Amino acid sequence: MFKKSFLQQFALGLTALTLLVSCDKDYNEIGTDIVGDDHFGFELYSGATVKAYNQKLGPIASNNLPINALGFYENPAFGTTQANFVTQVELGTSDPQFNNIDPEDYDTQPTAIDSVVLDIPYFSTFLDEDEDGVKTYDLDSIYGNPESKFKLSVYQSNYYLRDLDPTQSLGEQQLFYTDMNTEIDNFKVPTLLNDLPTTDPQNLNGQQNAQFFFDKREHRTVTLNDDGEEVETRFAPSMRLHLNKAVFTNLILNAPTGQLANNQVFKNYFRGLYFKTESIGNAGSMAMLNFKGGKITIYYNEDKASTVDGATVYKRVNKTLALNLTGNSVSLLNNSNENTDYLNTTANNTQEASTLYLKGGEGSMAVIDVFGPDADNNGIADEIEAIKANGWMINEANLTFYIDRTAMANTGISEPNRIFLYDLNNKRPLVDYSFDFSSNATYPKFNKFVHGGIIEKEEVDNGRGIKYKVRITNHLRNLINNDSTNVRLGLSVTESINNVAFSKLKTPNANVISAPSMSVANPLGTILYGSHSSVPEDKRLKIQIYYTKPD
């Protein structure tokens, strides 16, 4: 009796609601927002139960991310994030040989380092080239003012980033966490590597260390070829730092026997680089960097022997040795001056939320339950059973998340381009993600745009975000047609929709044991309206279901 009564009442409610919303102005607005979709003739239901909760994450595994933050980023709605970084270094050439001519037998000079240059490319867009060949660029993935300065120190790290966890019998990857900066800092070799004085023309105003900033100008270098001729090279903006020659002379040219034999040995001998950022009293700025695309180039010269007319002749030649930043790495994050509302709201993770705080890095996410209870304990939510009983054919279903523009109004910060909705129980994307083959060759971060989650902004210059919409049509169809498990959903910001790996929390809790790795890589945050009844009806989190009734 209960089930029949419930279904009848639920069906009547759906019919009444459909009649109401079909005449509502907001319905027409929703229909026109869906680009390329024709919802003419479809019924709309948006009364299904949705409950959303905040979840603070705390320290999270951050090793070997494909992209890492460096610098400072202030967001008044959340607080200040400081991002440091540590990475292993690998030999570009195994077992390099130096000074292989015996000076006791020949009149030769020892091998000598001319310079050591660390270069890490920025994400940039080419804009123009003038008549003199000077190119101009715009930097991408820089948050805050790119010209806002901070102190950057690069040290040799003596902390060993091992591959495998010795406490795990199955040889699992060793995890390193966002909160390990103090430990890494305590293991640094204290000699500063990017130590050019400000009197050096290459370090005017301390731009390589004491007052570092993300410079968008192209680089221009002049080197001598083997014939002593000047060769000019221009290349796109990058972090280009000159490192201490004496340190690398001892480490590389004078390395003990066997320490350069291969990378397995080398990574224990020279354990890597530690990038440390420090505030100098201003807001600073933060860049997303592909550190694994960076390298250290050691420019050196030595005598090369050749035979001319039967006599041994020596010629001084220029050579290079590359050290690549392709080993294990860890993103080191520290949050400070955190907003009180953000802390208080995300700490209360059992209360249905009126405001959802999504923040990347060592941040926060949302947990979402849909379709309400299963009163008869048969494994299927009662609302799903009602939809099944009515024989609806689901044409489309979306979760729409409206941005709390009032809360975000005074932040003056970048908004996340995308959010990621996933199966929280099983730590995997929804079926709609897997079935979406839409792509954007120019901007791969906008792949799977049918599944969505991409920010929708005002159609004006520098327009602010309005909402995010995620299509869950196939997920809902599976619940109705295939009796799939009605899993809890997770929601986070994401740096790239193309990577759906997950990273473990250092301290798991009853709701969450991991979060998307690409949320760890993204420093941004957004504030969304939640599902609580206190949220205005037109902004409240809902599932919008477009359906066709049976004949």
Q: Would you list the DSSP string of 121-154?
A: EPPEEEEEE-TTS-EEEEE-SEEE-TT--BEEEE
Q: How far apart are CA 416 and CA 73, in angstroms?
A: 14
Q: Domain end: 282, 298, 333, which one?
A: 333
Determine the longest span between alpha carbons in the chain, in angstroms.
109
Q: Name the burial class of residue 275, with classes exposed (0-12), middle (13-18) and buried (19+) by CB atoms within 10 angstroms of its CB.
A: buried
Other residues' Cβ atoms within 10 Å of the Cβ of residue 356: 26
Residues 313 and 352 reside in one and the same domain: no
Considering the domain architecture, whether residues 525 and 506 belong to the same structural domain is answered as: yes
The backbone region for 427, taken as left when phi is positive above 0, alpha when psi lies in -120 to 50, beta otherwise, is: left
Residues of the chain with pLDDT under 50: 1-36
pTM of the model: 0.88
In a domain, 367, yes or no: yes
Domain closes at, from 309, 333, 357: 333
Assigned domain for 72 exists: no
| Residue 101 pLDDT | 60
Domain co-membership, 314 together with 352: no
Q: Where would I find the beta strands (DSSP E) of 279-392?
A: 285-289, 295-308, 311-324, 329-336, 355-359, 364-370
Beta bridge partners of 115: 299
Q: Residue 484: name the closest of 388, 396, 395, 401 by CA.
A: 388
301 and 369 fall within a common domain: no
Let me know whether 237 and 106 are in one domain.
yes
**Is residue 87 situated within a structural domain?**
yes
Residue 45 pairs with which residues in a beta bridge?
545
Is 70 among the domain residues? no
Helix, strand, coil shares of the chain, percent, nearest 5, are 20, 35, 45
- The reply to whether 260 and 345 lie within a common domain is no
- Sort 175 into a burial class: Cβ within 10 Å, 0-12 / 13-18 / 19+: middle
Q: CA-CA distance, 194 to 418, in Å (whole number)? A: 36
- How many independent structural domains does the chain possess? 2
pLDDT score recorded for residue 551: 72
| Contact between residue 541 and residue 531 where contact means Cβ atoms under 8 Å apart | yes
Backbone angles phi, psi at 401, to 5 degrees: -115, 110
Q: Of 333, 368, 394, at which residue does a domain stop?
A: 333
Residue 56 sits in the same domain as residue 134: no
Quote the domain boundaries for residue 231.
79-333
* CA–CA distances in Å: residue 373 to residues 50, 231, 353, 378: 11, 73, 18, 11
Taking alpha carbons only, the member of 155, 68, 143 closest to residue 331 is 68
Residue 433 lies in a domain: yes
In a domain, 186, yes or no: yes
- Whether 405 and 308 map to the same domain: the answer is no
Residue 21: predicted pLDDT? 35
**Residues 174/177/181/186 CA torsion (nearest 10 deg):** -30
User: Which residue type occupies 336?
Assistant: S
Summarised one tens digit per residue, pLDDT across range 511-527 is: 999 999 999 999 999 99
The one-letter amino acid code at 263 reads N
Domain contains 73 = no
22 and 109 share one domain: no
- Tokens for 162, please give them: 């091992």
Same domain, 358 and 466: yes
Verify that 42 and 175 share a domain, yes or no: no
346 and 327 share one domain: no
